[in-house]
A and B are shown apart, each in its own frame.
Chain A
Amino acid sequence: MADRTRPLEGELLRIRDEIYSYAIEFGLDFHPVRFEVCDYDTINILAAQGGFPSRYPHWRFGMDYDQLSKGYAYGLQKIYEMVINTNPCYAYLLNANHIVDQKIVMAHVYGHADFFKNNAWFANTDRNMMAVMANHGTKIRRYMERYGQNRVEEFIDRVNSIENLIDVGLLFETQELKRQREERMKTAKEEIAKAEDERSNALKSFMRHKERQNRPEQVEETVDLREKKINAPRDVMLYLLENAPLEEWESDILGILRDEAYYFLPQRLTKIMNEGWASYWHSHIMTTRALKASEIIDYADHHAGVMAMSRQNINPYKIGIELYRDIEYRWNTGRFGKDYNDCEDMHKKLNWNKDLGLGRQKIFEVRKTHNDVSFIDEFFTPEFCERQQLFTYKYNPRTGRNEIETRDFMEIKNKLLSQLSNFGSPVIEVESGNYHNRGELLLKHVHRGVDLDFGYASDTLKNIYALWKRPVNIVSKQEEQTVTLSYDGKEFKQSK
C-alpha cells in the first residue's frame, strides 16, 4: 500500500494549511489528520476494505472491489474521499480530483474527524485500528496456512452471518464497568475450566470445550452456571464465543470479527449525523472562507450532487445537513421550549425571534451526545418534515409499482425511527443455551412490528448451528402469531 499513496505536496499542501486554519477557527476539534493522495484503483481498494489498507483475506472484499471498480468504469459512481476513524486520522484524496473538489473534501474530512473525536458513541473505539486490522490479517492468514484457506474462509462466512448480532449498549460500557464484567467472566470461566490466567480467551474457550467433553457428569452443573449468566443477551457473538464448542483458532477468529464489528458499529449508528456534520462544515467553510469567485459554479455543482434528493431513498447527507441547519436556526431565534411550542398565535409564531444566538453552540452539543435515532427523535419537527418534502412509499400490487403512501408527520417519523433503530437490524437476544434441557440454543427476536425474513433466518440458523453444533431455535412472530423456527442439523421445523 505504501507505494500506492503519497503525502500531500505543493499546491495541495498549501490548500490543506488554509482549510485547516478555517477548521480551527470555527472550533472544530480533531486528532491530527493525515491526508494521502492516491489513484481511483487504490481508493476503490480502500473503500472495499472498509477504509483500511490491510485486512484479512476474504472474498467479500474482492466482491466489493469488483462492484466499486465496475461502478467506476461504467461511470456510475465515484468516491471522492475516504476517512478513517483512527489517531492520527487517515484521509485519502483522489488524485484526479479538481482542485475545488479537493478543498471541499478536505473541509468535509475535518468535519468527520471532529465527529469521530467528539461524538459519545465513538468514545470507546480503538483509535489504533490501523495496526489492529493489520494484525488481524496476519493472524488469519496464518490460520489459513495452517488449516487451509477453504476451511477458515468457510468459518468466517458463518461468523459474518451473525456479525449484526451485537449489543449497541455495550458501546457505552465504561472502562470500569468493562473491567468488572471481565472480572466476573474470568471467575466464571475459572470455575468451569480451571484454566490459568495467562491463557487467552480463545484458549480458555477451547479448554472449556475439552473439559465438557471429558467430564460428562458435570455438564448439568456447567449448563446451570451458564444459564444464569447471560450478561449481554444481545451480544450473540459474545455468547457463542464464550459458550460454543469452538476450536482455539475458531474462537480467536470469532473474537477478531467481533472486535471489528464493534469498531464499525458507531459509524452505522450515526450515518445521518456524521455525514450531515461533515457536509455542514464543508458547506460553511467553503461558502464563508475558502471559495474563490472562479470556483463557485464547480462548488455548487458538486455540492448539489452530494445533496441530491431521491424519491427512492433518504439521502443522509441532505437530511443531516438540513437538520443541523434547522437546529441552528431554531436555537438562534429561540424557537424551542415551552413558550414557543405552546404559542397559538400563528403570526407571532411565524415571526418568533428572541435573538438568542445559541445555534452554533447547540449543534456542537448535539453532535456530541446524539446518535441517529435520538437525533431524529428529538429534532425532527413537522415543519422540517414538510419543508424536506418527505414521504413514505409502498408497493402497490394492483398497479405493480411503488406509490407514495403518506406525508403524515407521525407516520414518517415512526418509519424513519424504526428503520434506524438498532442500526436497522432486528433485535435478537439469547434466551437460553440449554433449551429443552438438551443444550439447544434458543434465540428470541424482539418483535417491534416488522416480521423477520424467514428465508434468510433459516440460512442464518444453519450457520449458527455450525458454530453451536447442537440444535438452534429462534422464536419470533409471523403475521401476529408466535412462531419458533428450529434447525437440528438436518431439517427445519416451524412450530406455532
Chain B
Amino acid sequence: MDHPIKRDHARFRKIVKGRIRDNLRKYVSKGEMPSPKGDGTFKIPMPSIDTPRFKFGDKSQGGMGQGNGEAGDPVDGQEGEGPGQGGDVGNQAGNKELEVDLSLEELAHILGEELALPNIEPKGKKAMPSVTNKYTSIGMTGPNSLKHFKRTYKEAMKRQIASGTYDFLDPRVIPVKRDFRYRASDAKVEFENSAVVIYMMDVSGSMGDEQKEIVRTESFWINLWLKSQYKDIEVRYIIHDATAKEVDEETFFKTRESGGTLISSALKLCREIIQADYDPSEWNIYPFHFSDGDNWSADDTKLCLEILDQDLLPASNVFCYGQVESRYGSGQFYKDLVSKYGEQDEKVILSKIKNKDAILDSIKDFLGKGK
C-alpha cells in the first residue's frame, strides 16, 4: 500500500493545478523570460501555497551572511554553493519559494506536461532515414579509450564474490583480463526531421510595447516546444506594415513603424522564403502571424486568403494566427479568418490573446493539435 502522504501529495497537486498554472503564468507574464545562465540551465519556481500568518514585513529588513567584502559590496551572485543540507526536524521557518535549475529539455517537458501538449508527428513522407552509430552497448573487446570502468569493476566484483575472494572489510576489487568491458557501437536508424518557424508580425502603430511583449513571450515558449520536438529548427522573422521585410530577432521585437497595414505583404514574403529555402517535402513549416487584426482593406484580406489557400497552407504543417488585443485594433482579420475556415480548422489555428495571462492558453491552442 502506498503511504498516505501520496494522498496529501495528490491533494496538493489538485489544489495547485489552478495555482501551478497561475504561478507559471505569473512567471511567464512578468516578462522574466527564462534566460540562459550560461551553462544551458534555466530557473522555474516550485509550486507552493502560502499560509497567511502574522509576520514581519520584509521591506528593508535585509539579512545576515558570512564571508569577506566591505560595506557596499554585493552579496548575491553565488547562490546555490555547497551541498544542500536538509532540515533535521520539520522546523524550516520562513521557507522561501525554491528554485530549480532546469535544462531546456526539462523546461519543455514541464511545459508539455502542464499544458498536456501532444507530441508532434512529423510529416511522414518527409522524414528521411539516416544511420548513425551510437555507443549504447557493451562488448568484451575494444580499445582502451572505450573502456567502461564501472562495468569492468562490476564484473570483477561479481567474480570475486562468486569465487569468495571478496573481503568486505578490505573491499579491494582488482579486475583481470576477462573482466574488462568496452563501450561498443550500435547502428541506429534515425529520422532526420527539420522544422522552420516563420514569425510574422504587424509592427504598424497600433501594436504597442505590451502587445510586442506578449508576442515575444509567446514565441519563446513556442520555440522551446518545437525545439524539443524537432532535431533541427530554424527561425525566420518578418515584420510588416504596408510593406514587409525580413529582419533578425532583435529588430523583430524592437521595430515600431507607423502607417498602414497590408497583411498580404507579409504572407507574400513568407511565400517567397518558403519557395527559396524550404522544400515542403523535406521541412516541417510553421508560419505564425501576430497582429491586432487591422487590415487596410477588404480587398487585401481577400488576397491574403488566396495566398493562404494556394501556397501557404499546402506547404505548412499548420498556419497559426494570433490576434493580440490592442486599444486601436478592430480585430477584423480574425473574424475574416473565422468566417472562411471556422474556429476548428485542422490547418488554420486561430487564437485570441487578450492579455499576458492568456499566453499559456494561446500556446495550447497553437500546439495542442500535435501537428
Contact = CB atoms under 8 A, between A and B. Distances in A.
B63 interface: yes
Contact of B57 (A64, A264, A391, A452): A452
A250 B89 CA distance: 27
Contact of B81 (A57, A308, A390, A416): A308
Contacts of A50: 89-91
A54 B76 CA distance: 39
Nearest to A42: B3
Given A317-B85, A452-B54, A457-B54, A59 B49 contact: yes
B88 A393 contact: no
Interface stretch (A267-275, A283-291, A356-364): A267-275
8 contacts: A49-B5, A50-B91, A65-B9, A67-B46, A67-B98, A393-B64, A426-B55, A456-B52
Given A70-B46, A264-B90, A310 B82 contact: yes
A114 interface: no
B62 interface: yes
Nearest to A43: B86
Contact of B64 (A161, A401, A412): A412
Interface string A304-317: 01101111111101
Interface string B85-112: 1111111011000101110000000000
Contact of B75 (A45, A317, A403): A403
B60 interface: yes
B8 A275 contact: no
A51 B89 contact: yes
B277 interface: no
A201 interface: no
B71 interface: yes
B12 interface: yes
Of B13, B15, B94, B100, chain A has the most CB atoms within 10 Å of the CB of B100
B317 to A, nearest CB: 34
A184 interface: no
Nearest to A418: B56
B71 A406 contact: yes
A212 B81 CA distance: 59
Of A308, A404, A462, chain B has the most CB atoms within 10 Å of the CB of A404
A196 interface: no
B54 A391 contact: no
A424 interface: yes
Contacts of A445: 54
Contacts of A423: 93
A344 interface: no
A161 B70 CA distance: 40
A426 B64 contact: no
Given A11-B168, A391-B64, A404-B71, A47 B8 contact: no
Interface residues of B, number: 63
A460 B54 CA distance: 7
A156 B56 CA distance: 23
B90 A51 contact: yes
B188 to A, nearest CB: 28
A392 interface: yes
B89 A318 contact: no
Nearest to B4: A57
A84 interface: yes
B121 interface: no
Given A11-B168, A309-B67, A59 B54 contact: no
A49 B6 CA distance: 12
A152 to B, nearest CB: 12
A394 B7 CA distance: 41
Interface stretch (A73-81, A173-181, A328-336): A73-81
A62 B13 contact: yes
Interface of B: 3-5, 7-13, 15-16, 46-49, 51-76, 78-91, 93-94, 98, 100-102, 168
B74 A401 contact: yes
Contact of A312 (B8, B65, B98): B65
Q: Which 10 pairs of residues, A with B, have the shortest CB-CB distance?
A: A79-B86, A77-B84, A50-B90, A62-B8, A308-B82, A459-B52, A62-B12, A62-B9, A394-B62, A309-B66
B85 A63 contact: no
A157 B270 CA distance: 56
A59 B62 CA distance: 31
Interface of A: 1, 4, 11, 42, 45, 47-51, 54, 57-68, 70-71, 74, 76-85, 112, 157, 160-165, 264, 267-268, 271, 274-275, 305-306, 308-315, 317-318, 388-395, 399, 401-407, 412, 415-416, 419, 423-426, 428, 445, 450-454, 456-457, 459-460, 462-463, 474
Contacts of B47: 63, 66
A365 B66 CA distance: 28
Contacts of B8: 57-62, 65
Nearest to B85: A306
Given A62-B11, A407-B71, A47 B76 contact: no
A416 B102 CA distance: 34
Contacts of A160: 51
Contacts of A63: 12, 16, 47-49
B3 A47 contact: no
A115 to B, nearest CB: 11
B66 A268 contact: no
A48 B82 CA distance: 22
Contact of A392 (B16, B63, B70): B63
Given A62-B13, A77-B86, A157 B51 contact: yes
Contacts of A268: 91, 93
Contacts of B53: 161-164, 425, 456, 460
B66 to A, nearest CB: 4
Given A11-B168, A454-B57, A460 B52 contact: yes
B62 A57 contact: no
A401 to B, nearest CB: 5
Given A59-B8, A163-B53, A392-B64, 20 more contacts: A42-B3, A49-B5, A57-B8, A57-B11, A60-B8, A62-B11, A164-B54, A268-B93, A274-B88, A312-B65, A313-B63, A389-B68, A393-B75, A399-B74, A402-B62, A404-B70, A404-B75, A426-B56, A454-B57, A474-B54
A45 B5 contact: yes
Contacts of A71: 84, 98, 100
Contact of B86 (A45, A80, A415): A80
Contacts of A389: 66-68
Contacts of A462: 52
Contacts of B3: 1, 4, 42, 45
Contacts of B75: 311-312, 393, 401-404
Given A83-B88, A264-B91, A78 B63 contact: no
A164 B80 CA distance: 29
Contact of B76 (A308, A312, A459): A312
B55 A452 contact: yes
Contacts of A474: 54
A312 B56 contact: no
